[in-house]
A and B are shown apart, each in its own frame.
Chain A
Amino acid sequence: MPMGHTATAEAGSGGLTATEHRLANGLRVVLSEDHLTPVAAVCLWYDVGSRHEVKGRTGLAHLFEHLMFQGSKQVQGNGHFELVQGAGGSLNGTTSFERTNYFETMPTHQLELALWLEADRMGSLLAALDDESMENQRDVVKNERRQRYDNVPYGTAFEKLTALSYPEGHPYHHTPIGSMADLDAATLEDARAFFRTNYAPNNAVLSVVGDIDPEQTLVWVEKYFGSIPGHDGKPAPRDGSLPDIIGEQLREVVEEDVPARALMAAYRLPEDGTRACDAADLALTVLGGGESSRLYNRLVRRDRTAVAAGFGLLRLAGAPSLGWLDVKTSGDVEVPVIEAAVDEELARFAEEGPTDGEMERAQAQLEREWLDRLGTVAGRADELCRYAVLFGDPQLALTAVQRVLDVTAEEVREAARARLRPDNRAVLVYEPTTAEAAEAAEAADAADSADETDEEAAK
């Protein structure tokens, strides 16, 4: 039965509150009421992602996510999709390094259906899982991999850079999409074992957000999920911690049929959930977030050596985060020209730190991104689950904006000084192959990197 109850209204969250509950089987439940629109979001995070996969079975968490849409004891075939869409809802699932999530947004009066569906597959997926859906979804996922990574220019950059950034054997060395060989090797028994190990109520957080009656919602949650047995067999994930600094510059040159040269790099940054990570986020935003950033002004506006230049942040809680640099060159500009300019800008920033104007802009941008994410019931439900699963406290979702606004310019400078250095990055250089270059090139060193990418969706 439900226990525990907190409610806070924090600055920056627009007066949003969330309450927390726990069923006897260990399922954590987070509820947040908002009656502006007659919709309700259901979000379920399972604490399992590609970091839990073992050698030879990369891509299993994501392939399994697809199998969750193939029916369960009381839901036939594609019934999960059919019933939700037929009720005027929308739904999907995604897999990342650290979690797998499933979500439905429903018109208010169909909320109970979404809870029933999620409970049915949490408790009884194996009653329906068979070879036919395994073989079919294996093919679908392989086509997903082809479509999103193998058949587009620079499509495998993410998995190459991830493999460079995290050493062989590290749980984040491979990305969620997995390798073709491992997708081929996965068996039905692997999938069954994966379910038994990871898909238990005590390894999940359920959030329900929107136009809900919390008491009624809890009654439904207890009714549908309450009898699913908990299970404690999940092994702890392999340790993802690494030294703060790589200590050398890792590098790979890829010669491929791409339209232009590119410089990509991943800097090792503090783990998500720390103030240092928020400081790094602001540093990346000042340097490469948007069209008034230092790198954009330097490379695209002034030097005119790049078509596009920017930084992104991949926040990770169980391993160092990654600061993601992506520059596509203009015309016949060579990569060393870009690299020298990037290094110069990063060094100058580490020296002088952000100006007041830059801090204001970076914080305003990150604040708006938070408003966007919390502005829909589905976005809010996802963030509540994220903070509950990764940091043990969903309330942190409602105070996240304030934490970003609290960071000082000196902390931002320090983050850049400590982390945004040439000896703390993995670099990926793309050199296009042309007819003549192909002859001259010694087969590049398109090293047999590893696998993956950020998020895979079932739909």
Chain B
Amino acid sequence: MTELATMDFHPQPQAGRPKPWAFPAPQRGTLDNGLTVLRCHRPGQQVVAVEVILAAPLEAEPAGLDGIATIMARAFSEGTDKHSAEDFAAELERCGATLDAHADHPGVRLSLEVPVSRLAKALGLLADALRAPAFADSEVERLVRNRLDEIPHETANPARRAAKELSKELFPASARMSRPRQGTEETVQKIDSAAVRAFYDKHVRPATATAVVVGDLTGVDLDELLGDTLGSWTGSSAEPRPVPPVSADDTGRVIIVDRPGAVQTQLLIGRVGADRHDRVWPAQVLGTYCLGGTLTSRLDRVLREEKGYTYGVRAFGQVLRAAPDGTGVAMLAISGSVDTPNTGPALDDLWKVLRTLAAEGLTDTERDVAVQNLVGVAPLKFETAAAVASTLADQVEQYLPDDYQATLYQQLASTGTVEATAAAVSAFPMDRLVTVLVGDAAQIEEPVKALGIGEVSVVAAE
């Protein structure tokens, strides 16, 4: 090599003294209408984040109407008793606000972000949407058509297509989790405003909902503000809905979703495992990070930085649905895309990484770096109000205590290499992984069969 620079070199600097930081503790209360409220003052965060969690899980959707929770969520911002759909959107934007709503297995979430100077106005609009949504026939009809138009776009997207196939494979056909979250052509086209209204009447009420408000609340009388807005939402009380048990078939096998001519193969390799209620969770987080959390984790060290097969492969654990008794599940998966000709070699290397991990375990250095990262990035990760609000809302949705995240950092720091190894190995056992490959079957089927990672079947993309 050439060219030794002429600069002065200095030894790597040592870290200074860490400053204390803790995940913020929210203040919890209940409004007169039964709405639970978590609030958290974050100085300097001028854009306030509000999350509302509704106990309207996907498994509560009526049979044959998959997607109705999604249509309802979207219809919240399509008019109220005070505003038409167009006016409602205009009023929100006049506040400089954004309002997103989506339905997932645990329930429906609405996320509002607005500059604190216009919080009162935006909270009023949010309250109107929850209290008196219009659900006008023509608007629901439009949302249904719009949703039907979206489906072919999702089918054409390799990552979305892979996720849909994995759910179908893992869960029994009778389980809501086996089917697309936002419904299929067949189910969505049956949804109308009367059905949306009925779903709303049955599952949406303040007594089973929680609002999380985070931001710089200096000079804001939040009690008065909430009383005037979300406090005016009324509804009957209700018993908490039981969470159905989840079963999954993780027999090792391979499903190729054929996409002739694809220049890459989308990989999604997964199963279900422990969620945050399980004592193994911190070790599982640590082990999963060491396996595939970042560019310097084991998978990318080989697949990307040594072989160049991919732009990046990640391993992750994502809670699907938690239960108060701790019987919930998380999706544990490895995802990424690799070029078509190297699909076989990339999977071979991926399994070698898993085999080596099981045989030799993690090193102490790996474990230390992972802990330093996972714990150390917390103040960065939670700089914005939206990040804090989202995590607090996740905790509520997953029946976790308000100090869960703060405690998790202590647990991560005290998790050892042996525990992290054991958790990673049992999260990703080589013979209990369902592999979905969205790619050109004509090119990848034979090389994948030769690997012996499970029976290989091919399905059409559409």
Contact = CB atoms under 8 A, between A and B. Distances in A.
A246 interface: no
A36 interface: yes
Interface stretch (B148-156, B163-171, B449-457): B148-156
Most buried by A among B9, B142, B304: B9
Nearest to A120: B9
B162 to A, nearest CB: 12
Contacts of A260: 149, 152-153
Nearest to B16: A109
Interface in A272-300: 290-292, 297, 300
Contacts of A123: 5, 7
Contact of A38 (B8, B43, B368, B379): B379
Contact of A81 (B7, B146, B294, B376): B294
A8 interface: no
B386 to A, nearest CB: 9
A153 B307 CA distance: 27
B89 interface: yes
B47 A147 contact: no
Interface in A90-109: 90, 105-109
Contact of B308 (A111, A135, A147, A375): A135
Interface string B295-311: 11000010011111111
Contacts of A87: 15, 372, 376
Contacts of B305: 78, 136, 140
B370 to A, nearest CB: 9
Given A110-B15, A139-B308, A368 B115 contact: yes
Contacts of A136: 305-308
Interface stretch (B56-64, B91-99, B275-283, B420-428): B91-99
A120 B9 CA distance: 8
B12 A139 contact: no
Contacts of A259: 152-153, 155-156
Interface string B93-131: 111111000000000000001110010000000000000
A83 B369 CA distance: 9
A345 interface: no
A116 B264 contact: no
A128 B21 CA distance: 37
Nearest to A201: B7
A9 interface: no
B109 to A, nearest CB: 18
A227 B7 contact: yes
Contact of B153 (A38, A151, A328, A360): A328
B18 interface: yes
Contacts of A107: 18-19, 21, 376, 379-380
B339 A143 contact: yes
Contact of B379 (A37, A120, A365): A37
A335 to B, nearest CB: 15
A220 B14 CA distance: 13
A290 B93 contact: yes
Contacts of B96: 364-365, 367-368
A357 B376 CA distance: 45
Interface residues of B, number: 84
Contacts, number: 245
Contacts of A372: 47
A377 B93 contact: no
B377 interface: yes
Interface string A350-370: 000000010011001101100
B174 interface: no
Nearest to B260: A257
Interface string A52-89: 00000000000000000000011000100111011111
A368 B97 contact: yes
B395 interface: no
B90 A85 contact: no
A109 B295 contact: no
Interface string B1-24: 111111111101101111111000
Nearest to A139: B308
A137 interface: yes
B295 A81 contact: yes
Interface string B414-448: 00000000000000000000000000000000000
Given A143-B308, A147-B337, A375-B46, A153 B12 contact: no
B43 A89 contact: no
Contact of A88 (B46, B93, B156, B377): B377
B324 interface: no
B7 A377 contact: no
Contacts of B10: 116, 223-224
B4 A143 contact: no
Contact of A292 (B86, B142, B156, B157): B86
A146 B234 CA distance: 52
A105 to B, nearest CB: 5
A163 B368 CA distance: 48
Most buried by A among B97, B157, B304, B305: B305
B25 interface: no
Given A107-B18, A137-B308, A151-B264, A375 B384 contact: yes
Interface in A142-195: 142-144, 146-148, 150-153, 192
Contact of B8 (A138, A139, A227): A227
B383 interface: yes
A313 B307 CA distance: 38
A180 B112 CA distance: 42
B295 A459 contact: yes
Nearest to A119: B7
A159 B202 CA distance: 49
A301 interface: yes
A151 B45 contact: no
A357 B158 contact: no
A33 interface: no
Contacts of B307: 136, 139
A229 interface: yes
A147 B45 CA distance: 35
Nearest to B139: A301
B152 A126 contact: no
Given A37-B21, A110-B15, A116-B13, 11 more contacts: A38-B19, A87-B376, A88-B378, A113-B15, A119-B7, A130-B1, A146-B311, A227-B7, A330-B146, A330-B149, A367-B115
The 9 A-B residue pairs with the shortest CB-CB distance, nearest first, are: A88-B376, A139-B308, A364-B96, A123-B7, A109-B16, A368-B96, A259-B152, A38-B19, A292-B89
19 contacts: A14-B44, A36-B43, A86-B369, A108-B16, A116-B12, A123-B5, A127-B3, A127-B5, A142-B308, A151-B263, A151-B266, A223-B10, A257-B156, A259-B156, A260-B149, A291-B93, A367-B96, A368-B113, A371-B115
